[in-house]
Amino acid sequence: MLSNEQLLRYSSNILMKEIGEVGQQRLLKRHVLIIGLGGLGCPASQYLASSGVGQLTLMDHDHVSLSNLQRQTLYGSNDVGSLKVTQAAQRLSEINPDVDITALSQAASKDTLRDHIGTSDIVLDCTDNRDTRYLINRYCYWLKKPLVSGAARGFNGQVLALKPSADHGCYQCLYPASVKEPLNCTNAGIAAPIVGIIGAMQALLAIQYLTLHEMPWGRLQSFDGLIHRWQQAELPKSTTCPICGGEHANNR
């Protein structure tokens, strides 16, 4: 049963037949792990907190730098030098004190991912390097947890929702180890609204999943910010992928 304060706070959600009071109660009981509190993780976490997702775990070992402030909307000039997860948790608690927030000031590793992916309902990969993305993808598949991966650089962004039990490719199918690592916002620059768009899409997909709506599993959605156009492509499973296909798949 929602309290009077919750009925008012989440009234816009509750008025929608696609969510309603039952859907809002579901959100309040769910747990999302957000890995990376940079340009993608900031808007994703803000929308999930304000929408009433009951538990958020934030994982990031980085500190706020001056160059982050152009696109990382949870931080201000006074936060430079502070841990991102500490500042993010404080701001998100101010947005919605209903939410139980766990701040983990640690890098994504085998040990941290095994523990925290396993207890979450869905994982958002908001990181910006391939090795970490491979690791997150691997543990989500081993632990059979849905994953929403976002990426952005320049005026372009992409988002991909993955369900380990479904017959589609994974992140490593999209970017095999033999393919040169794509540029990211650190070495190619980024238009600030692009990470806002992609991070918001990650939050939207998480909310869709948590409220039991149909999901675009295995469909790469790419956004070109210069011509304002979305494109979609199915991601097939690679038979040689060490994670989701081939004779060695799923071996730890």
For tokens 């803000």, name the residue: 46
Tell me how far apart the alpha carbons of residues 143 and 211 are, in angstroms, rounded to a whole number.
Answer: 21
Question: What CA–CA distances, in Å, run from 101 to 38, 70, 125?
Answer: 17, 25, 17
C-beta of residue 188 within 8 angstroms of C-beta of residue 154: yes
Yes or no: say if 82 and 55 are a contact pair by the CB < 8 Å rule.
Answer: no
Q: Active-site positions?
A: 185
The letter for the amino acid at 246 is G
Cα 177 from Cα 188, distance rounded (Å): 21
The Cα 54–Cα 68 span in angstroms is 28
